[in-house]
Copies of this chain bind each other. A is one copy, B any other.
Amino acid sequence: MTVTESRTEHHVDTREALLDAAEALFSEHGIQASSLRMITHQAGANLAAVHYHFGSKEGLVRAVFARRLQPLQEERFRLLEACDLSGGVEGKGVEQVIHAFVAPLIRRMRETPDGAHAFAQLMGRVFSEPSEDVRSMLIQELKPSADRFVDALRQLLPHLADKELMWRFQFLAGGMGHTVSCQKMVARFSEGVCGGDPDEMLRYLVTFMASGLRAPATAEPDLQGEPA
């Protein structure tokens, strides 16, 4: 009740309240562990309201993602189009593309702590989501964006074979996803040192990932330095 806040009179919009409550609870406890009873209670709505507005729990899950993912992707595209890809591996384009990919998520974490922040945490987590429904929805929603970013990186890093290029994009996405979705764990592992400021994290992340992306192509096996 206190968490959602919005409805002081009675209900501003039950549908939105349900989405807010579901987002917060999904990110806090996971999708599976968030019951419709918890969600409707936190939203100040009736249990049956979920089925009226979204048809099922699955429909609610889809709606929670769609609401945030579309504007996020649009912002990523806008930033990507503003990147200067002409400088190649030595130009600032590498940093710019990473920034375009990560910053929209970080910005939302900073600006709406109890909305997008929860969503960012959920986004990172949901990649290892066991439900095939959620998985295929994510692919459908994110694949076009991922492809465009890989295309941009291909222009910047033409010396890389496609396979290595795609792996590097995965390392970038994974590093971002981990730090965003596992913030509590990260903070506990670093004893609080890596808590707090998302913008600081973003700067460190851009430095690290840009250097990783710029690395020379990996040589064929046996040149690999393995201890002992």
**Hey, which bits of chain A sit against chain B, CB under 8 A?**
28-30, 32-33, 79, 82-84, 92, 95-96, 99-100, 103, 121, 124-125, 127-130, 135, 138-139, 142-143, 146, 162-164, 166-168, 170-179, 181-182, 184-186, 188-190, 193-194, 199-201, 203-218, 221, 224-228
When chains A and B are docked, how far (Å) is the Cα of A139 from the Cα of B187? 11
Q: Is B174's CB under 8 angstroms from A204's CB?
A: no
When chains A and B are docked, how far (Å) is the Cα of A210 from the Cα of B214? 11
Chain B residues whose CB sits within 8 angstroms of the CB of A174 once the complex forms: 174-179, 182
Chain B residues whose CB sits within 8 angstroms of the CB of A173 once the complex forms: 178
Distance of A212 from chain B, by nearest CB (Å): 4
When chains A and B are docked, how far (Å) is the Cα of A30 from the Cα of B178? 18
Q: Are A167 and B201 CB-contacts (below 8 A) given A162-B193, A178-B177, A182-B127?
A: yes
Closest 10 CB pairs of A and B: A174-B178, A211-B215, A212-B212, A125-B128, A82-B228, A171-B175, A208-B212, A82-B227, A207-B218, A92-B225
Chain B residues whose CB sits within 8 angstroms of the CB of A146 once the complex forms: 189
Q: Is A96's CB under 8 angstroms from B226's CB?
A: yes
Most B CB contacts (10 A, CB to CB) among A167, A214, A215 go to: A167
When chains A and B are docked, how far (Å) is the Cα of A96 from the Cα of B225? 7
Chain B residues whose CB sits within 8 angstroms of the CB of A200 once the complex forms: 163
What is the interface of chain A mostly: helix, strand, loop, or mixed?
A: helix
Among the listed B130, B166, B207, B217, which residue makes an inter-chain contact with A215, where contact means beta carbons less than 8 Å apart? B207
Distance of A193 from chain B, by nearest CB (Å): 5
Distance of A165 from chain B, by nearest CB (Å): 9
Q: Is A193's CB under 8 angstroms from B135's CB?
A: no
Chain B residues whose CB sits within 8 angstroms of the CB of A227 once the complex forms: 79, 82-84, 96, 99-100
Taking A100-B227, A171-B178, A212-B212 as known contacts, 14 extra A-B pairs with beta carbons closer than 8 A to each other, sorted by chain A number, are A30-B30, A95-B225, A99-B225, A121-B128, A127-B178, A128-B182, A135-B184, A143-B189, A163-B200, A166-B189, A170-B179, A170-B194, A203-B224, A209-B212
When chains A and B are docked, how far (Å) is the Cα of A223 from the Cα of B92? 12
Chain B residues whose CB sits within 8 angstroms of the CB of A209 once the complex forms: 171, 212
